[in-house]
A and B are shown apart, each in its own frame.
Chain A
Amino acid sequence: MIRLENISKTYQTDKVETLALKDIHLHVQKGEFVSIMGPSGCGKSTLLNLIGLLDRPGTGAIKVAGTEVKSYRDKDVARLRNHTFGFIFQSFHLINDLRVIDNVELPLLYRSVSSSERRRMAKAALEKVGLGARMEHYPNQLSGGQQQRVAIARAMVGKPQVLLADEPTGNLDSQMGGEVMDHLLTLNKEGTTVVMVTHDERAAKRGSRIVRVFDGQLVA
């Protein structure tokens, strides 16, 4: 499904050059639930961002469904992000000016989907995460757990092949975190590939495979 070959990533500031990832080879198979673990600052979020095409590698190649992404134009990468990936962020990244239903509709805005169909799909996604009654609310009227469920609904509304979650339970208490994990596992069981960055060993073990990163490199 996704193949990273010899990936390195360096961040350059005014005077300092920081190596975030080095010689990464990773293959995520279709239908897997891969948990990426490692200490803070080891490069796991950078790795997730590269998988989701939110960032560009310094060297190496990223292949999605066998095609190298490097050659893609902005429009093509945008289309790939829209159709292939769904993102869940630790800090939710909901748009506070928009209602919950409008936030969930967001990925569908960039597809040729009619507004009534968009509304229907967003409503179904919200009902799936148990927030059917909160559609007209604004994100800041919801609890952290509810906001993350909105983020999950937004990530899955377009039925992406891969869900990328960056510490989805990091800002939630254990009960809320457990509910979020349940939703991710359900989606995975339904065929969605999930790649999740987490600090939580217990949550990571609920996936099918754990990938560990240390000092920018994958470790066994």
Chain B
Amino acid sequence: MFKNYLLTAYKVYMRRKLFTLINLLCITLTLVVLLVVTALLQNAFHPSGVEGKSDRFLQVIMFQAIMKDGNGSRTSPVGYKVIDKYLKPMKTAKLVSAVTQPDTVSVYQDDRVTELMMRRADAEYWQILDFKVLAGRVPTPDDVARGRFVAVLNESSAKKLFPDLAAVGQSLNVGGQPFEIIGVVEDVMHLNAYAEIWAPVTTYPSSEYKNQLFGEFTALILADSAADLPQIKAEVEQIATRIEFDDPNVWSHGYIWADSKLDFFARELIGSRNDADSGAGTLVVVLWVMALLFMLLPVLNLVNLNTGRIMERSAEIGVRKAFGASSSQLVGQLVIENMLLCLVGGVLGLLCTKAVLLWLEGSGLIPYLKVEINLAVFGYGLMITLVFGLLSGVIPAWKMSRLDPVYALKGVA
């Protein structure tokens, strides 16, 4: 029976090739967009690769200070002093790291100038993030403490700067400072890891950064376990009330938040800088609503096409009923047909998504992007498509199957 159903389904779909193609395109495109977006979101927010511990670390990125007269404020990345004086001594944290946000620097080699994105970091940074070291080593606490001019390159930059040589052991002039390359790490594209060259924070041309509340730093706060994150958040919120301003006549108080990556983006997009609630919950709801709305169009299209297709087959349904098919058997047959189409669309969607992601990785639109298809999301996407496909098929199929055969044979639906 199943073979007969498959055969009929194949014939039915081949009978109206254009409709079948539109149907398949709908399913495929929906899945591709859904999978590409979720792959990018997963890459950004899910603990993986170099930021594999991101489920148990938080970041303090922005500092907002409120003026005493209440009429103004200043918002900027946190300065090193906030991290060093207030965050590093935290009781609830396992490790606290200070790292600058990536900034463009000029690298001089003979008569060539190359621009790279650089971070300066303390030693804890290399413990919190899981860089894959391809050659040499990463800076040690001793390198940082002594302010050694050592640097780590990412793989692409190492190949670019030293195409014919091993990068480790080579010297580089970075913004007028001489650095020795001590290591090469894998290319990464993550919020806190992305850069092309890293050096100890103590190699800053001036030590003035140590006295700044506002600066260009990010604090990474690692917890022993994810369960400790709420305590860390509470402690950081409490620390914000204790920050002493250099000019207390101008500034009254400030806000810093220990945010997860999702919290950080939500706060930047829709949240408030002076509220503990980052707005992540709202952002997730908005994303879900958008995803559902996005899927509504192909669903309506599927409903329409399926209804038309089934109505067109009323005579066949009448014949099947006349020869003993029960309503549930007919619904089953039409459901199998829909599932077949959805599965073909799903496989096409998976292949096209892989192609789009490969293109995205190779295009350089997002540097060092490495994304994988989330098979769970593929499963959910396919399941949703199947559910909608089935519902859209089952409803008209059920209606047709309830019809007395004589009406179905006459094509009266």
Contacts and interface: CB of A to CB of B under 8 A. Distances in A.
Interface of A: 49, 52, 54-56, 74-75, 78-79, 81-83, 85-87, 89, 93-95, 97-98, 102, 105-107, 109-111, 115, 154, 158
Nearest to A106: B323
Contact of B325 (A78, A97, A105, A115): A78
A81 B405 CA distance: 11
Contacts of A98: 4, 7-8, 11
Contacts of B404: 54-56
Q: 9 tightest A-B contacts by CB?
A: A82-B324, A97-B11, A78-B326, A110-B324, A107-B323, A55-B406, A54-B405, A54-B406, A49-B406
B323 A102 contact: no
Interface of B: 1, 3-4, 7-8, 11-12, 15, 315-316, 318-329, 402, 404-407, 409
Contact of A110 (B3, B327, B329, B405): B329
Contacts of A107: 323-324
A97 B12 CA distance: 7
Contacts of A105: 4
Nearest to A92: B319
Contacts of A85: 322
Contact of A106 (B3, B319, B328): B319
A79 B405 contact: no
Nearest to A73: B326
A154 B323 CA distance: 9
A173 B12 CA distance: 32
A94 B323 CA distance: 12
Nearest to B315: A93
B8 A106 contact: no
Most buried by A among B7, B322, B325, B326: B322
Given A49-B406, A102-B4, A95 B316 contact: yes
Most buried by A among B7, B319, B402: B319
Contacts of B11: 97-98
A82 B1 CA distance: 15
Contacts of B328: 74-75
Contacts of B318: 93
Contact of A78 (B15, B315, B321, B407): B321
A125 to B, nearest CB: 13
B322 A110 contact: no
A106 B15 CA distance: 20
Contacts of A102: 4, 7
Contacts of A86: 323
Nearest to A81: B324
A115 B3 contact: yes
7 contacts: A54-B406, A74-B327, A75-B328, A81-B323, A82-B323, A86-B323, A98-B11
A82 to B, nearest CB: 2
A126 to B, nearest CB: 16
Contacts of B324: 78-79, 81-83, 107, 110-111, 158
Nearest to B318: A93
B4 A110 contact: no
A97 B326 contact: no
A208 B315 CA distance: 32
Contacts of B7: 98, 102
Nearest to B15: A97
B323 to A, nearest CB: 4
Most buried by A among B315, B406, B407, B409: B406
Contacts of A55: 404-407
Given A102-B7, A110-B329, A93 B321 contact: no
A81 to B, nearest CB: 5
Contacts of A87: 322-323
Given A89-B409, A106-B319, A106-B320, A74 B326 contact: yes
